[in-house]
Amino acid sequence: MKAHEIRADYDSSTIVVYQAYPPEIGRPAAEHGRFVPPFSRSRMTWIKPSFLWMMERSNWGRKSGQEIVLAVRITREGWEEALAQAVLTNADQRVYRDAGAWRNALSGAAVRVQWDPERTLRGEKLDARSIQVGLGRQIVSRYVDDWITGIEDLTPLVGKIRGLVDDGSTAQAEDLLPLERVYQLSPELARRIGADD
């Protein structure tokens, strides 16, 4: 793995991102195939294409307020629209001229990107990074209304994989993981989000 590359479950027109919510938001979203109230469009929502990073973030669906793990399938067009507006959450010298330029860009950013350590099945940190994309309130409605093509509740699968890991059945657990492969970006998008060529 390269240090900064997007790995995801995707096809020719869509990509899967993961989110975790409390039951009152997650269950209706899966039932309706879209986010409905009490989901809030007025705050930033973070989407993550790495299943194992989502497992780390939600403690395998055991963290309070993150009990329902969703696989949200969105259009690649929407995904790349978000990345094209993204500003990194740190002043990466590979991307920004100086800290002032970064601060100016971040202050009005509709989308934020940060790279966190990718995780193994058992939660250990890897040297490779995993992307998180924060959608600000200026763009959340595009995500909810235009980009989403389907939402699946993965909570039962998460519990099954977690149980296999806890029992030491690592190979069986790995067989159930979503297949993620490198998502190719245009040079312009890669430069914007600090991805490796």
The pLDDT tens digits of the residues spanning 25-68 come to: 999 999 999 999 999 999 999 999 999 999 999 999 999 999 99
Quote the longest CA-to-CA distance of the chain.
Answer: 50
Could you list the residue range(s) of the whole structural domain that residue 163 is in? 7-190
Q: What local confidence, expressed as pLDDT, does residue 1 receive?
A: 85
Count of domains forming the chain: 1
Region 85-113: mean pLDDT is 93
**122 inside domain:** yes
Q: What local confidence, expressed as pLDDT, does residue 135 receive?
A: 98
**Distance between CA 126 and CA 97 in Å, rounded?**
29
Q: Taking the model in full, what pTM does it have?
A: 0.95
Question: In sequence order, what are the residues at sequence separation of 6 or more whose Cβ sits closer than 8 angstroms to the Cβ of residue 137?
Answer: 41, 42, 43, 44
Nearest to 51, CA basis, from 193, 141, 155, 148: 155
Give buried/exposed letters for 82-97 (b at 16+ CB in 10 A, else e).
bbebbbbeebeeebbe
**79 inside domain:** yes
Q: What local confidence, expressed as pLDDT, does residue 4 receive?
A: 96
Instruction: Name the CA radius of gyration of the chain, rounded.
Output: 17
